Structure 1
Amino acid sequence: MPTNVSEPQAVSGTVTRSAIFIVATLNDGDAHADTIRAWCADVAALVRAVGHRVPGGNLSCVCGFGSDAWDRLFGGPRPAALHPFRELGTGERVAVATPGDLLLHIRAESMDLCFELATQLLGKLGDAIQVVDEVHGFRNFDMRAMIGFVDGTENPAGREATDFTVIGDEDAEFAGGSYVIVQKYLHDMAGWNALPVETQELIIGRKKLSDIELDEEIKPSSSHSSLTTLVENGQEVKILRDNMPFGRPGAGEFGTYFIGYARSPAPIEKMLENMFVGLPPGNYDRLLDFSKAVTGSLFFIPSADLLEALADRQGPSASDGHPAPAPSAAPHREGSLNIGSLKGNRQYE
């Protein structure tokens, strides 16, 4: 990575015991847009102030903006790969697209820290936004998803995490940034728990107790592991997941909040296509017979430096009467994820 890349936000921060995920839409009005832009300069200071109360609490916040919000708040230039979430699938098996202009991913070792920071951040925003989804997540034993399998085993770590999640020279003006897709899944736990463990393992592609991946000769091509493993030019393309279980037992609600970070939306979108449409089409992820996506949004995560600088960014010209248009999509080449080489000059296309 070039040495002059801005400091990323806490995308690959410490895995914590608690998290709050907040998705909001922007309310109309120039004054509200001004409030949100000014708020960008306050985020880091609020994290420091709240986190200082518990030095070992590992408090962090990642803030992202949706495509429409970027145009409305900041105009051009815009991140090269930013676009609205693309809905996938048909019938009962759909990766739905839902409204989302602003994302807050708050993490800490304890919920009180998350809760206090969320309160402070939202208090500053006031009526400039409308919260459309709020999920309080928790770490489940040894990082197990609600369905009982360990989650995030194949996450990249260290330098590899940076390589796979942080934009470099391919979009130099937005270097240090990332992209993130979030989805809220609700599970049919009665149906899932009625399956034999051996059947569950074939659906996931891993052993339930040991978390060891099944041998290729017995792992179905429709397994979750198979469909979410991407290889291009002989190299595995990874994303960084920080999923969290959530739920309300009294309401019969049991879910997983999926959050996947990458330096381009392309690999996450390809994984979702494999899951919901199938590879080949029809060979879909059988986990979706028991898990339903009820939200879906895509956000750009500016670098920490850019987030603060956005407070001084001027919105789209009032004389235009409309936000800056999004750039046309880059042409797709058959057999390519359009993310270029993950080594060498790190150019995406």
Structure 2
Amino acid sequence: MTTPQAGILLPPPPLARYLSFSLTPGVPAADCLRALCRLADGERTLVGVGRALVSALGAEIAGLRGFPTFAGPGLELPATPAALWLWLRGDDRGEILHRARHLEQALTPAFRLDDTRDAFLHAGGRDLSGYEDGTENPIAEDAVRTAIVGADQPRLSGSSFVAVQRWTHDFAGFERMPAGERDFVIGRRLADNEEIDEAPASSHVKRAAQESFTPAAFVLRRSMPWAEGGRGGLMFVAFGTSFDPFEAVLRRMLGIEDGIVDALFRFTRPESGAYFWCPAISEGRLDLSPLGL
């Protein structure tokens, strides 16, 4: 029996680190992946597999595809694919550092570390803009149905698909806006997190309301703020049984269908974008059998 990687359904941790790896050309990856299975428990260390790695293993994961190259009025989303993605969860920055080192060592020489980002909880779960993040996240059984592939797909049962973007905020530009204007950008009041009925159609809440799509476009968000030097923003992480709901929301945010661009882009932009498949857990270890391992 397979189960999901536990970190998917747990709340975001106090601290986290995201690692993205590319493949080393000409070096087989199977042995390094087996070593990874001995270290990654799916809870403290969560694993996502990119399309390049699946292809290199001669396998196929139905539903796994490249990040979309969507463009809207004055906007174009970056696609930054990776072969492997790790989400390290914990509450001790030093322990996370050493765990990341050991994981990188285990994945050498088949994988090369390309990007490291540290993240953290802020103000009880708020974005660095100050607004609450993930207000309408599904919970309990709804979260499982939203994020975890069911028994109707036995080969992938217990697994998940995840979209990952690093958004960078223009803090100075956001702070120059009057408080009421900031509320209209988000579509919620900062003071009480209540939706604003009279907010414009471009407000983020109205653009991205998951229940307003047909079919409903729910994802399970596990996003966390990140910071490095004087820069920062949001590591957007959204799990689902497919990428379709995420892409539906993204298209509307970009104004592809009606020309109304999400006001969120007034102060923040994505600098990365990648898709991964998150294997299930079987007998306490990552189940890589769909990859032929």
TM-score (norm 2): 0.91
Find the partner of 2:246 among 246, 259, 268. 268
- The answer to whether 1:69 aligns with 2:46 is no
Unaligned runs of 5+ in 2: none
**Cα offset, 1:195, TM superposition:** 0.4
**Cα offset, 1:112, TM superposition:** 2.7
SS of equivalent residue, structure 2 residue 85: strand
2-structure distance, mates of 1:124, 1:118: 10
Alignment of 1:286-297 (within 5 A): 286-297=263-274
| Cα distance change on mapping 1:299 and 1:233 into 2, 3 Å | closer
- The answer to whether 1:21 aligns with 2:21 is no
Given that residues 32 and 108 in structure 2 are in contact (C-alpha distance below 8 angstroms), is that contact kept between their aligned partners in structure 1?
no
| Cα distance change on mapping 1:105 and 1:208 into 2, 3 Å | same
Unaligned runs of 5+ in 1: 48-58, 316-349
2-structure distance, mates of 1:277, 1:81: 25
2-structure distance, mates of 1:254, 1:214: 27
* 1:241 matched residue in structure 2: 221
2-structure distance, mates of 1:204, 1:308: 38
Given that residues 171 and 267 in structure 2 are in contact (C-alpha distance below 8 angstroms), is that contact kept between their aligned partners in structure 1?
yes
- The answer to whether 1:222 aligns with 2:202 is yes
2-structure distance, mates of 1:133, 1:152: 25
What percent identity do the matched residue pairs reach? 26
Given that residues 68 and 84 in structure 1 are in contact (C-alpha distance below 8 angstroms), is that contact kept between their aligned partners in structure 2?
no
Given that residues 217 and 248 in structure 2 are in contact (C-alpha distance below 8 angstroms), is that contact kept between their aligned partners in structure 1?
no
SS of equivalent residue, structure 2 residue 67: coil
State the Cα RMSD in Å: 2.3
| Cα distance change on mapping 1:70 and 1:205 into 2, 3 Å | same
Given that residues 73 and 261 in structure 2 are in contact (C-alpha distance below 8 angstroms), is that contact kept between their aligned partners in structure 1?
no
Larger radius of gyration: 1
**Across the two proteins, how many residue pairs are aligned to each other?**
291
1-structure distance, mates of 2:174, 2:257: 23
Structure 1 stretches of 4+ with a deviation exceeding 6 A read 232-235
* 1:195 matched residue in structure 2: 177
1-structure distance, mates of 2:130, 2:261: 21
**Cα offset, 1:146, TM superposition:** 1.3
* 1:37 matched residue in structure 2: 33
SS of equivalent residue, structure 2 residue 199: coil
Alignment of 1:66-215 (within 5 A): 66-73=50-57, 75-76=58-59, 78-90=60-72, 92-215=74-197
**Cα offset, 1:90, TM superposition:** 4.8
| Cα distance change on mapping 1:113 and 1:214 into 2, 3 Å | farther
SS of equivalent residue, structure 1 residue 171: coil
**Cα offset, 1:170, TM superposition:** 4.4
**Cα offset, 1:260, TM superposition:** 0.7
1-structure distance, mates of 2:101, 2:73: 38
SS of equivalent residue, structure 2 residue 211: strand
1-structure distance, mates of 2:162, 2:171: 27
